Structure 1
């Protein structure tokens, strides 16, 4: 039986998180980055995000198998009730429910911070290929997100053009 734990990310986790993310950068069009950040860059990203938002990970039997975080949706003050979410699960740990657990915890923490709108920026193919499918979109739909925008051929990776969608979930009362 697995022992599952969700906790805040520490800077000492940067190497492991960079390792998980590196797979997506090098082998998929899920991330539109071309070069995987190293441990130092990842530490800087973690430190920057944690100043204002939660950055959490999930452990299975003491080993980090995924992480999720929220970040500023837009720098202007009127958007302060919004957050953009990101999530990455180790490739061999998918379909275990870890993504749902991470997002539920992230949403609970964001509600306490007064966040009302959640957004996700997701790469999608016109036709699924070996680098990108619709799994991320379907995952977000399953958690109550709705597609609110489609950008055509805006990301180029592996000599192919990919679309990008914005998905939204309202989690609070807009008074």
Structure 2
């Protein structure tokens, strides 16, 4: 079931996220995030943007949200999308279902453009974005440094 995030979900969502922080280059956070700061992040984001979770048998298996792209007012109709699936739950269409719902909510909220910002290579995420019509519009070589290596970033754009 897909539903809106609740503050009580914070620990489960954080566990999903911190796996990626500690074990992958998918996010550019370097150290595990604290529950306090992540809870605050959920509160702030969900005030203005959709933040949804995929729950099955009281366990959160993934989450997705929109967030501010840049702080200048001309960007108010552009949103950055984020999606994470719990390790071991890939290949079950959870990401597809979450993204379908998130994009529908963003469109209803009159956002004009959605940007997916992906560490590359990341075949699964690229396929997910392209499945929904996102097109790669930028490639930033060596944009981030994590695990003693430079990481590339791709910007994928969907316009409603």
Indicate whether the TM-score tops 0.5. yes
The aligned residue for residue 96 of structure 1 is: 92
Q: Distance in 2 between matches of 1:72 and 1:159?
A: 29
Task: Give the 5 Å matches for 1:61-100.
Answer: 61-100=57-96
Does residue 156 (structure 1) correspond to residue 145 (structure 2)? The answer is yes
TM-score by length of 1: 0.88
Compute the RMSD of aligned alpha carbons.
Answer: 1.0
For structure 2, which runs of at least 5 residues remain unmatched after alignment?
none
Aligned to 1:92, the other structure's residue is in SS state coil
Kept in 2: contact 1:146–1:168 (CA 8 A): yes
Kept in 2: contact 1:15–1:38 (CA 8 A): no
| CA shift digits 1:67-112 (9 cap, x unpaired) | 0000011211111111100000001111111111111111111111
Task: Give the 5 Å matches for 1:10-49.
Answer: 10-49=6-45
Aligned to 2:105, the other structure's residue is in SS state helix
- Which residue of 4, 11, 18 maps to 1:8? 4
For structure 1, which runs of at least 5 residues remain unmatched after alignment?
126-132
Q: Distance in 1 between matches of 2:94 and 2:123?
A: 18
Tell me which structure has the larger Cα radius of gyration.
1
Kept in 2: contact 1:146–1:169 (CA 8 A): yes
